[in-house]
Amino acid sequence: MNLLKSRIIQGTLLLTVAGFITRILGFFYRIFLADKLGAAVLGSYQLIFPIFAICSSIYGAGVQTAVSQLIAAEQGKRSKLCSSDSPTAKGLTTSQNTIEQNCRAILLLGCILSFLLAGSLTFWVYTKADWIAARFIMAPECAPYLQIMCMLFPFCGVGACINGYYYGIQNATVPSITQIVEQISRLSFVFILLIIFPGSAEHNCIIAVWGIVVGEIVSAVYNVYKYMHQPKKDKANALSSFRHGLRHYSVPLLSLSTSLTGTKLVIALLHSAESVFIAAALRQYGCSTKEALSIYGIISGMVMPFILFPSSITNAIALMLLPAVATSSSDGDHAKVHRYFSTSNKYSLLLGGACTAFFMIFGNFLGDFCFHDQTAGEFLRLFSLLCPFLYMSTTLTSIINGLGKTKDTFLITCVSQSMKLFCLVALVPHFGIMAYIYGTILSQAFMALLCYLTARHLLA
């Protein structure tokens, strides 16, 4: 097979280009937000994302991955069918139409499940925003931001399922364009409104949150439009597909999505606890509330976007690896899975090492030039040690999940995140933010090591 014609290579390139475009736009947007909000309000703005992560893990992430895996399995059947000995034209067409109907049924069922979960969560977050802001994230000023943010849940859920469908058939064009559409819509909305209606930092923050909602709505509408207008050989209507899905895929989809959702929810809760406890631990160390939020805003809103920028490549590889590994494993092509493992490891480590060197050398300059903040530059140099471990664990986790061992990745992530939380809760109140930084690096290195050993064991 010609490497350039490989779907996984094409998909990775498309997603990487889209990721770079959105992250470049995001950089300018972060600089703009840092100027309009200030470090403290930027920290408050960042605190709504743990709630978004928890909710999206319930209505979107698990369902999307389940849709992707089930559709990838159907595509594996198509590959076997096409390679079988002398299938008749009529039989081949009939079987392919059946597979297409199965894929439509899986997607429709996933969208309905995700929409119902998202709608319920929207109602709950909107009505309980004051309680969530005061008791969970310990920032009462975030309540109006949460009420706005929760409006995007149903749109985000449907869009995630459609992206899962395209990842399952290893066609990354629509998800790639969707990323760009979402980012451009969000940035355009916020830029225009802040120019027309300038105000205080809190006023600007409300507009920024509405920008997230608008971006997700526009991208979801684009996703639905592209799916509805793609050529379909199978002419079954939505009701017929829904009935077919209920009969054949409701149990597999619910079973797989429940398992994946449980995994992603626990992980999201652990990550959210980390985000919430940073400010609390820094206050125990002796920082004021404003100083604690400022440090959190610098790390989450200024430093981490730089660290995560090159991960556009590894995230793209991971998204395409999961269905590719699932399909190859289903076909019994273990040699191909081994190639995915060795190649992704090599390039993840090379990319991580190069990024660590770059941020070590230019970290102070980037922090001062982009954000006029020397602390951001110092933190960027320290966090640069994350890069090799972060990028490697991203691709390895996808390979392990593609082999059907989601429980393994769940346990590994829980152990790693628990190490980080221990450093945060036990050490930061006594040693300050440096304990969190070194704890983060050590926990990510441990996660990468466990992922590598697990993947090697599964492929032995």
Q: What is the pLDDT of residues 53-69, one digit of tens each?
A: 999 989 988 888 888 88
Report the alpha-carbon distance of residue 5 to residue 3 in Å, rounded.
5
β strands within 353-431, DSSP E: none
Answer yes or no: is pLDDT of 215 > 90: yes
* DSSP tally for the chain: helices H, then strands E: 20, 0
Backbone angles phi, psi at 48, to 5 degrees: -80, -20
* 423: Cα within 13 Å, side-chain hemisphere: 18
CA 132 to chain centroid, in Å, comes to 23
Tens of pLDDT, residue by residue over 160-174, are 999 988 888 877 788
Indicate yes or no: pTM above 0.85.
Answer: no
Lowest mean pLDDT among 152-156, 260-264, 423-427: 260-264
Of the candidates 400, 308, 381, 374, which has an alpha carbon nearest to the alpha carbon of residue 27? Answer: 308
pLDDT of residue 219: 94
Report the alpha-carbon distance of residue 115 to residue 128 in Å, rounded.
20
Tens of pLDDT, residue by residue over 9-41, are 666 677 667 777 887 888 788 888 888 888 788
State the burial class of residue 7 (Cβ atoms within 10 Å of its Cβ: 0-12, 13-18, 19+): middle
Answer yes or no: is pLDDT of 190 > 90: yes
Q: Which residue has the tokens 């859920």?
A: 157
Neighbours of 358 (CB within 10 A): 15
CA distances 96 to 110, 244, 253, 409, Å, are 21, 16, 21, 34
Tens of pLDDT, residue by residue over 127-179, are 999 999 988 888 888 999 999 999 999 999 999 999 988 888 877 788 888 98
Q: Which residue has the tokens 């894929």?
A: 103
Contact indicator for 18, 239 with CB cutoff of 8 Å: no
Task: Take residue 155 and report the two structure tokens written for it.
Answer: 């749109």
With a CB cutoff of 8 Å and minimum separation 6, the contacts of 28 are 187
- 101 vs 294, residue with greater confidence: 294
Helix (H) or strand (E) holding 145: helix 143-149
Q: Please provide the DSSP assignment of 170-233 as one string.
A: T--HHHHHHHHHHHHHHHHHHHHHHHHS---HHHHHHHHHHHHHHHHHHHHHHHHHHHHTS--S
Q: Residues 121, 127, 129, 134: is their CA dihedral positive or negative?
A: negative
Tens of pLDDT, residue by residue over 231-246, are 665 555 556 655 665 6
Q: Which residue has the tokens 């040690």?
A: 385
pLDDT of residue 236: 53
pLDDT of residue 359: 94
Of the candidates 115, 75, 157, which has an alpha carbon nearest to the alpha carbon of residue 325? Answer: 75
> Rounded mean pLDDT of the chain?
83
DSSP state for residue 48 in the 8-state scheme: T
CA distances 348 to 30, 375, 388, Å, are 26, 28, 7
Task: Take residue 174 and report the two structure tokens written for it.
Answer: 């629509």
pLDDT of residue 403: 82
Contact indicator for 282, 436 with CB cutoff of 8 Å: no
Task: Take residue 199 and report the two structure tokens written for it.
Answer: 């105000």
pLDDT of residue 379: 93
Report the alpha-carbon distance of residue 66 to residue 70 in Å, rounded.
6
Answer yes or no: is pLDDT of 94 > 50: no
